[in-house]
Structure formats: structure tokens, C-alpha cells
Amino acid sequence: MQVKIAPSILSADFGRLAEEVRAIGTADYVHVDVMDGHFVPNLTIGPIVIEAVKRATNLPLDVHLMIEDAERWVGAYAKAGADLIGVHVEAAPHLHRTLGQIRDLGKKPCVVLNPATPLESIQYVLGDVAQVLLMSVNPGFGGQKFIPSALDKIAKLRRMIDERGLAVDIEVDGGINLDNIAEVCAAGATVIVSGSGVYGTKDYATTIAELRKRGEAARS
Ligand code: DX5
Ligand code: ZN
């Protein structure tokens, strides 16, 4: 079964960003972490940098918004070149409307859950999204350790999706590398974000191929 690899450019060298984006050209998505210094205790990039990333690659941009008031900003990120737009349940009081806005902009809506947020919070929007992103670290920084309770959550979400016969991707983000991708995919993940697990290695293309191979072997 196919597993998509989405390297997170948060761990890239921002001084050579275009080059670093081109160097992961064999991946499936470019995962872009947008942080506002309010929803999470870190500040990263906004639409202008996303425009530059878009110019550097033909891969779809998987934009993970870790910002307050996401509803106000989805239009700007769609215009900047996002293909998938992820909004946190915890940052979107009118979640159903925000996901609808993303779809109306012609982009793929993705809903994101922090480690402590229960799956029940998305049961009424599961039919309205292309992807659910489960955080396996507390968002804000790259290079953190995978939180083991995420595995049970992935498996539960897999059952929820399969029981309803939906074609929704399960993306998992945080602390995933060559050593643990198999268990994450065995639990039911179909899209894997990896920041330091890719950019912390010498040969990105080899790492991406190996991640995909181990992930797909665990899914079959
Ligand atoms: C964390 C971000 C992640 C991060 C993952 O807030 O959402 O995408 O870059 O980095 P690693 O794979 O190093 O945990
Ligand atoms: Zn992310």
C-alpha cells in the first residue's frame, strides 16, 4: 500500500531554502510549518516564503498552519501556493466553515489534532476533509521525540475511517524517522512527515526512498 513522504522544511537550511526544497524532489509533498508565535511558542514563515518555495518545486505544498484565527488566513495561504491546507481543531472555533472555505478555494482541506485532543472532536467533519493530521509531538519545534500514545490514536482513526468507507489520508507529524516509521504505518498512517529524520541525514533522496520502502512494507 502506498505511503507518501512529506519532508518538513522546518529542519532545512533556510539560507539555502530553494536548493533544500529541490533536494527533496523525490518526495510526495513538501511539508511547510507556519507558526505565529501565539498558537505555538515559535515563529516561522508566512505567505511570501511559501511563494518562493512554490517557485522552487513542482511537488504539492502541504501547509500546516499552527496559527490562531486560521479562518482569516486560509485565503492568503491558498493564494501563496498551498495545495493542502491543515488547520488545527484547537485554533478553529468554526472548523466546519473553515474547512469549507479551503475546499471552495480549490485546495485540499486537512484537519490537525494536537496529541491531547480526542478523535471525537473531528467525527462530524471527517467526511469533509482529504486528510487528518495527527500530531505525534506538541507542535512548535522540529527534532522532538515521538509520543508513543499516538500509535493507539492512529489505529483508532484508521478504524473510524474504514468503518465509514472514507478515502481520507492519515498524516502523522513529529519525531518520525527510519527507526520508527514502520510502527507508525503499521498502525494505519498513509502520509509521513519527517523533518530532522530527512534533513538531518546526508543523502535526502536515499532517506526518502528508504522511509517509503519501510512504511509501505509495514502497510502491506
Ligand atoms: C512541529 C512541526 C513538524 C516538525 C517535525 O511543530 O509541525 O512538522 O517539523 O519535525 P521532526 O520530524 O524533526 O519531528
Ligand atoms: Zn508540521
Q: How far apart are CA 169 and CA 83, in angstroms?
A: 15
User: SS3 for 209?
Assistant: helix
Cβ(86) – ligand 1 distance below 6 Å? no
Atom of ligand 1 nearest to the CA of 198: 12
Give tens-digit pLDDT for 7-40.
999 999 999 999 999 999 999 999 999 999 999 9
Q: Considering the candidates 69, 152, 173, 179, report the single residue annotated as catalytic.
A: 173
Residue 165: predicted pLDDT: 98
Q: Whose CA is nearest to atom 4 of ligand 1?
A: 142
Give tens-digit pLDDT for 150-197.
999 999 999 999 999 999 999 999 999 999 999 999 999 999 999 999
Ligand 2 mean position, distance from CA 141 (Å): 9
Q: Whose CA is nearest to atom 7 of ligand 1?
A: 139
Q: How far is CA 165 from CA 123, 158, 162, in A?
A: 14, 10, 5
Atom of ligand 1 nearest to the CA of 140: 6
Give tens-digit pLDDT for 100-145.
999 999 999 999 999 999 999 999 999 999 999 999 999 999 999 9
Which of 193, 199, 207 to mutate for ligand 1's pocket (most ligand atoms within 8 Å of CB)? 193
Cβ(62) – ligand 1 distance below 6 Å? no
Nearest to 27 by CA among 53, 57, 1, 51: 57
Q: Is the pLDDT of residue 220 over 90?
A: no
Q: How far apart are CA 11 and CA 195, in angstroms?
A: 5
Cβ(81) – ligand 1 distance below 6 Å? no
Q: How far apart are CA 60 and CA 48, in angstroms?
A: 17
Q: Within a 10 A sphere around the Cβ of 114, how many other Cβ atoms?
A: 17
| Contact residues for 171 (Cβ-Cβ < 8 A; gap 6+) | 6, 62, 86, 110, 131, 132, 133, 134, 189, 190, 191, 192, 193
Amino acid sitting at position 65: L
Given a contact cutoff of 8 angstroms between Cβ atoms, the answer to whether 186 and 150 are in contact is: no
Q: How far apart are CA 117 and CA 90, in angstroms?
A: 8
Ligand 1 mean position, distance from CA 179 (Å): 16
Residue 23: predicted pLDDT: 98
Q: How far apart are CA 182 and CA 168, in angstroms?
A: 20
Residue 104 designated active-site: no
Cβ(64) – ligand 1 distance below 6 Å? yes
Residue 33 designated active-site: yes
175-213 burial, b if ≥16 CB within 10 A, otherwise e? Answer: bbbbebbbbbbbbbbbbbbbbbbbbebeebeebbeebbe
Q: How far apart are CA 157 and CA 149, in angstroms?
A: 13
